[in-house]
Structure 1
Amino acid sequence: MAHPAQVGFQDAASPLMEELLYFHDHALLILTLVSVFVLYIIIAMLSTKLYDSYTLDAQMIEIVWTALPAFILIMIALPSLRILYLMDEIDDPLLTVKAMGHQWYWSYEYTDFEDLQFDSYMIPTQDLLPGHFRLLEADHRMVVPTQTPIRLLISAEDVLHSWAVPSLGVKMDAVPGRLNQASLAIARPGVYYGQCSEICGANHSFMPIVVEAVPLKHFESWSYNMLQDT
């Protein structure tokens, strides 16, 4: 969960988000080194009379300023491609959840069960309980087991939406008529909040996403009770 005056990312709750944080730090380090080097060159140029023919026509300098940017791009591209493949990789998911975006709420369907589905609406401010977060709490949470590979199917019924939970490293567009998928594996129990990240209309800011991760035995009890209620 984010906190006031936070500068960095939220704490990672999934292996994928941990990889994204490592890549962010890696790219930020390269960016810092490049910025310092460019600043040094600018200061050196302003404080030196560059009339020497060796400086103006040096073949080695031309090779360096051509090869160095290419090397930097490779250092950024390789780990980036690795993470992209990890995001698309879904190995033997034990649970499949379908998230549908509507104007303006989410509906969830657990396709491994015969009749386990529900709508998730934002709780109005006047109905919030102590400990609830304004504009982020939903009446029905998406409950999933921890340390379990999950396939998340995402689509929309009306307009473009986007299912995004920063702590889990998931952000996938919900497109009408198209079924997108994302992988989800939550490392520890907790409640993780997100919001629709696509400007989908007047109530775009009032369709939160709440994911509650629980141990497998608690998920089995929850799913059994949900099926009994239906």
Structure 2
Amino acid sequence: MNDTSTPAALPRILLVEDDPTSRAFLAAAAAGTPARVDEADGVATALALSGTTRHDLWLVDANLPDGSGAALLQQLRASHAGVAAIAHTACTEPATTDALRAAGFDDVLVKPLPATAVQAAIRARIGSVAAAPTTRPVWDDAAAAAALNGNMTHVQTLRALFADDLPNTQARVQSAASRGDVAGMQAELHKLRASCGFVGAGRLGDAVAALQDATDDPGRIAAFESAAVETVATWKYRPVE
């Protein structure tokens, strides 16, 4: 039986995306399945990575600066048959998604989309070594209202501040993790968990609590990073009530 508690036991994904923001979002979402993610910004980098590393899935942008996703897929499959492949595109035209499937992609994701949809598509192709994601909402209005005496205007103000600072908090947690600074991680996670309760960031709060219990678990670290990215992304497009 494989030891899924170690990074080597996790599935490995090649993510190809030239836009830095989209690449960061997709990488965090994919890592939260959990999985190890190798990032490439174009065809040349992707081919170089595939030449040295065996991947369980390719997550490929349909349009790249130095070629098309469909052409890249053909080159990848020439050397590595049988690897699952998912395309991602911002084009909503059925003709485009149909063409990508005809080119050999097993699935096509249309951006923008939530992290949970990315993870579901990945799990459908390569399975999961972790439990299915929680169904708790990203933003729990009832919990936030209860914490702040039903004042939703106050809730929304605090949520804006919370979402604005969350990337900084995430970076501090990641830095502490990379240094092996468990005390530093726990201090940041303790403060973040309390803040999640005040603003009703339910799904992130669950990920923080899980990471507090096992700060050296790569799957929980990846799940925390994915939840943080999803929390910020969904706030940006959430109308003020």
The alignment's TM-score, normalised by the length of structure 2, stands at 0.27
Higher strand content, 1 or 2: 1
The alignment's TM-score, normalised by the length of structure 1, stands at 0.28
Higher helix content, 1 or 2: 2
